[in-house]
């Protein structure tokens, strides 16, 4: 049996996160809080990181090519003395013509599109953008690529909320249309384990944010 450990980490906070503005694939940087969150990720390799011990054994670090993900990846990559490899499929969902709008603006000025997004219509594709079905196909291809290239290894990927939502659904066989009941916090760490025989996913940790707390050096009970 082969076990592959995949760590998926969401980028740190941006001003657009605070404004509830749809970032999509627009290249927005981290704000001051996001930069601090990125630095705090290095605490995962200290006493607080024992719950996520395989993280320090990563053979490769991938990142979405968008600045907010690359900036989040840099401190951890520096400590691990690893380079960062940009990987296009890790990019956020492309929201096309509605990128840059806030959710209240979308609701007020584009009520049909807003409703389709809120209802998680899998077929809805914003003008020049991706549908949930498109995004799921991309994420499935990403997971297949990682498992093929890195079977039995530990891999770190820095990515975005939309991608992480699909990853969780794939790992837990949750429908695209189902309302999300799991958190996807900025700079949260998500640890998935894939076993080859029998082929199965296990969510080892999800939305782990102990490192973001003020006293992140204190022991953790590893209760995910």
CB 15 within 8 A of CB 162: no
Catalytic residue among 5, 11, 94, 160: 11
Write down the domain spans for the chain.
3-94+131-212
Mean predicted lDDT score pLDDT of the chain: 93
Give the model confidence (pLDDT) of 67-89 as tens digits: 999 999 999 999 999 999 999 99
11 is catalytic: yes
Catalytic residue among 92, 113, 130, 153: 92
pLDDT surpassing 70 at residue 7: yes
Q: What is the mean pLDDT of residues 46-70?
A: 85
Put the strands of the sheet holding 60-63 in their side by side order. Answer: 84-86, 60-63, 154-159, 3-10, 189-196, 199-208
Residue 50's pLDDT band, with cuts at 50, 70 and 90, is: low
Predicted TM-score of the model (pTM): 0.93
Which structure tokens are listed for 21? 């503005």
Identify the CATH homologous superfamily for domain 3-94+131-212: Phosphoglycerate mutase-like (3.40.50.1240)
191 is catalytic: no
| pLDDT over 70 percentage in the chain | 92
Q: Which of 150, 154, 181 is nearest to 165 (CA)?
A: 181
The per-residue pLDDT for 48 is 53
Residue 217's pLDDT band, with cuts at 50, 70 and 90, is: very low
Nearest 5°: phi and psi at 124? -70, 125
pLDDT surpassing 50 at residue 190: yes
């Amino acid at each position: 049996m082969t076990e592959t450990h995949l760590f998926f980490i969401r980028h740190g906070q941006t001003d657009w996160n605070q404004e509830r503005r749809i970032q999509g694939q627009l290249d927005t940087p981290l704000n001051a809080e996001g930069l601090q969150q990125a630095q705090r990720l290095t605490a995962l390799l200290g006493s607080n990181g024992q719950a996520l011990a395989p993280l320090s054994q990563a053979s490769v670090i991938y990142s979405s090519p968008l600045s907010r993900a690359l900036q989040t990846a840099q401190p951890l990559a520096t400590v691990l003395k690893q380079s960062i490899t940009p990987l296009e499929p890790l990019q956020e969902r492309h929201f096309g013509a509605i990128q840059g709008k806030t959710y209240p603006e979308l609701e007020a000025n584009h009520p049909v599109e807003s409703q389709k997004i809120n209802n998680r219509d899998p077929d809805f594709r914003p003008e020049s953008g991706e549908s949930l079905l498109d995004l799921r196909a991309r994420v499935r291809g990403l997971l297949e690529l990682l498992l093929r290239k890195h079977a039995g290894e530990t891999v770190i990927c820095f990515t975005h909320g939309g991608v992480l939502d699909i990853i969780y659904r794939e790992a837990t066989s949750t429908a695209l249309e189902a309302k999300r009941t799991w958190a996807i916090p900025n700079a949260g760490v998500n640890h998935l384990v894939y076993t080859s025989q029998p082929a199965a996913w296990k969510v080892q940790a999800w939305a782990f944010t102990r490192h973001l707390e003020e006293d992140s050096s204190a022991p953790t009970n590893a209760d995910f």
